Chain A
Amino acid sequence: MLKEKLAALNIANMNAQQKHSLLRMAVSIAIGLGLATLLILLTSDKPMESLRYYFTAPLQNANYFSYWIQKTIPLIFTGTAVCIMFSANQFNLGLEGSFLFGGLVAAVINIYVTPMNPALGIPLSLIAGALVGSLITFIPALLDRLFNASVMVTSLMMNYICLWFSTYLLFSHLKDPRSSKNSYNWAEKDPIMVLKFGKGNKQLTVYFSILVALLVVVLAWYFLYRTKTGYKLRTVGVNHNFARYVGINAVTIAIAVQLIGGAIGGLGGACEIMSNYINYSWVDLTGFGWDGVTIAIFAKNNPKYVPLAAIFIAYLRTGAMVMSYKTNIQNDLTSVIEGVVILFLLAEKFLSRTYRKMIVKETEENRRLEAEMQKEVD
């Protein structure tokens, strides 16, 4: 009898917050997609065709499908990196820089080492990408430690330092004199880390980097939820007073997570360069660093949900891309939709009345049940 009530109590308990958070996510996405549909219907010349592309394009042929996967991979990397940093409440936004520099370093090694020795060049560029990536997020962390400089601000500035430095390097050293904006090539036709089958619309691209990305997700989850450091890191993130009281050194943890986050970002950049390019030509931030924040918000800072969130966002982007290609609707639609969804997801007061009702009801019910249980114990 007691046990049954206990179970009832806890099921009710577990659900209020989680139920509501799921509800909020579902409603936010529904609003976003609803708005997308509305905008397409209002502005498209061929509304039904546009909608069909927007919602089903990634599944229509092998080419679009490949594009979908291609767009998913960088999101997995940066999303996971942000999950780790945000789990410890470290709001380092230097991933744009890490990603860019990861790509840059990989490109340099691919230009100068890989053609002579691919067995050394490929792993070396991935490792170097990760190392340089971690350096980029480490600098703001260090400035914070030494001079108490806001990580958020310094890491944002870091991104632009990276951008202009890499642009300089491209035009002063790496650029192929025969080209106006590209570096020397490091491959003949296809990027290093992919295999392509078929032609035209039926062309399927196999990305090896997705294996790296998924490995990173698994390791990140393992790190956060199964290691000593990961445990300490989450504790600091949840309640730093408590962490101090049980004797956890929060400073070391803060620096460690930023190193790890940057490394994942840099690795992502290296994979991106080697999966999609045969030369280096980045003269703008890739945007994947910012996207990482979006993905982490969807995944609630848990790496486990990152692939799901990344696939979802990449699906919408692929749909929008194909739609803009085939009809008169602009690709930017998808940014608007993402923005709207995130806006509702982060709006704390959104659906708060429903939550109030749920939590008040639940708390009263719990107190009543507990009082009954207490009677039985007495």
Chain B
Amino acid sequence: MDNYLVMENITKVYDNGIMANDHVNFSARQGEIHAICGENGAGKSTLMKMLFGIEQPDHGQIIIKGKPVHLTSPTKAIEEGIGMVHQHFMLVPSFTVAENVILGIEPVKGMKFDMNKAIEMTEEVCKKYGFDINPRARVQDITVGVKQKVEIVKALVKGCEILILDEPTAVLTPQETAELFVQLKLLRETGHTIIFISHKLNEVKELCDRVTVIRKGRTVGVYNVADVTEADISRAMVGVDVVLEIPKDEAKPKENVLVVKDLGVYNDAGKKVVKNVSFSVREGEIVGIAGVEGNGQRELIDSIAGLHVYSEGSIKLLGEEIHGKSIKELRQLGLVHVPEDRMTLGIAGSMSVKDNMIADKLDDERYTGKILNKPKNIKEDTDKWIKDYLVLCKNGDQQVNNLSGGNIQKVVVAREFTSYNRLLICDQPTRGIDVGASQFIRERLVKMRDDGKAVLLISADLGEILNLSDILLVMYGGEIVACFKDVKSITEEELGYYMLGIKKMSEEEIGGALHA
């Protein structure tokens, strides 16, 4: 039954003009577990929000069991048999499990809430689908894994037939994950359709029947999981854009600029996500970090950039320990940072291109006096940068929001590269942007290297990272598992083995990342 759930030609434009979905097609059969894979910002969450009635599509239609539906609210979606477990749980901590489960369909006896009936309803569903939960426990007292089960039961009680799970394993231990999978397979047997959003490809491989890959708001393809490898899925996610090799000479590295030693970092949930990492970046070289998302790169970079506090080991920038230094002090030392999430960290959306380019240079005497700005100098320089960095905009006064992703990224790059810099951190510098802009940014990076800057590059784009890096590190499970000094000789396939944790280099080889 291939028209069980069909999302056809779905287009969604957000109010700020970002096109999150561009004619996306998606369909799922009854009784299958269907994965949706894609990078951050590829549009998978947007698509699911439309299926759960949180957002409405601008074009296209949603068909459930052959009948077009208009899902104008989650209530409507629930009526159509759709349930969603969000990444962040939607539970009331001070309520009991049963109270949470029946929220929205409260049973009543006369005027009063019928607690016994609620417990009965919860127990019934738990028994039917084999969940082991105490309905009387308070949600604040149960573990994350159980909370997730409560979320699922909550959806099942309302008669859900299509269950959306948004990155359900992100917060679970391996044991909890295994348990969850058993339960999901059980649900599949009872005819439920499960949509599983994840970028953990091994889980997709283990659990799912089919996978739909989305990239830059478009459907790349639908595959039977049995027919494809993890590498195939990964390639489809990142894209096989023809990367033109950027020509570059042999690196001539000089002094150390960044030295990271025995670094250990905990994430906000208190889990150790960077373990014992040591490496250095020297003047005139590009050090690349490859790895599947979620293997500690995020926290490593945030720690170096001063956005996250690290607890073990040391990070030295030009010989100075950065622990406790403000971002302003780090920037004065010569750190610049092209962040991964350009919309949240990289720009102030409703301000002008000019304002965005100058944001980190406000204390520079060329642009501001004691009190007043120097508009003439600001205009002169920003106009020049707009030209130099090929930012396609009418003029510097245009709102940066109104530019396309590629042009916004050029604004970010222009700002960072024109500031005083010794160390450039470039986090996914070309993610989600067009080929032309990507090429341009890569050329600039190589040029900065040739000018004697130290460059730390993080990228999920293997072609890019293999082309640009002079030294390539691979992160897996919070550790550096490989250090390649001769990047030219690595194949993507071999790199893949390290990224998936199948292979690991010796301590000695990995130690080569740190230059004394």
A interface list, Cβ under 8 A from B: 6-7, 9-11, 13-14, 16, 226-229, 231-232, 234-235, 238-239, 241-249, 355-356, 359-360, 362-364, 366-367, 370, 373-374, 377-378
Contacts and interface: CB of A to CB of B under 8 A. Distances in A.
A366 B359 contact: no
A245 B339 contact: yes
B399 A14 contact: yes
The list of the 9 closest CB pairs from A to B, nearest first, reads A247-B328, A10-B394, A13-B402, A238-B348, A246-B360, A228-B368, A239-B348, A247-B327, A246-B359
Given A14-B402, A242-B344, A246-B360, A374 B436 contact: yes
Given A226-B372, A227-B373, A228-B362, A247 B331 contact: yes
Contact of A355 (B15, B330, B339, B358): B15
Contacts of A366: 17, 404
Nearest to A225: B373
A234 B350 CA distance: 10
15 contacts: A226-B373, A227-B371, A228-B373, A235-B355, A235-B359, A242-B347, A245-B327, A245-B337, A245-B345, A246-B327, A247-B327, A247-B328, A248-B362, A356-B58, A363-B17
A187 to B, nearest CB: 37
Given A228-B368, A370-B404, A377-B436, A244 B327 contact: yes
A231 B372 CA distance: 10
**Interface hub of A6, A231, A243, A378 (most chain B Cβ within 10 A):** A231
Nearest to B437: A374
A242 B355 contact: no
A16 B358 CA distance: 26
B90 interface: no
Interface in B342-374: 344-351, 355, 358-360, 362-363, 368, 371-373
B422 to A, nearest CB: 16
Interface string B10-45: 010101011100100000000000000000000000
Contacts of B327: 244-247
Contact of B348 (A16, A235, A374): A235
B443 to A, nearest CB: 14
A363 B19 contact: yes
A238 B346 CA distance: 12
Interface in B422-444: 434, 436
B349 A239 contact: yes
B3 interface: no
Nearest to A357: B58
A9 B330 CA distance: 38
B392 interface: yes
Contacts of A362: 17
B326 interface: yes
Nearest to B393: A10
A377 to B, nearest CB: 6
Contacts of B326: 247, 249
**Interface hub of B348, B360, B375 (most chain A Cβ within 10 A):** B348
Interface string B77-99: 00000000000000000000000
**Interface hub of A228, A238, A370 (most chain B Cβ within 10 A):** A228
Contacts of A227: 368, 371-373
**Interface hub of A7, A246, A362 (most chain B Cβ within 10 A):** A246
Contact of A13 (B339, B344, B373, B398): B398
B146 to A, nearest CB: 32
**Interface hub of B11, B59, B359 (most chain A Cβ within 10 A):** B359
Interface string B386-408: 00000011100011001110000
A6 B344 contact: no
Nearest to A352: B15
Nearest to B402: A13
B362 A232 contact: yes
A306 B345 CA distance: 31
B182 interface: no
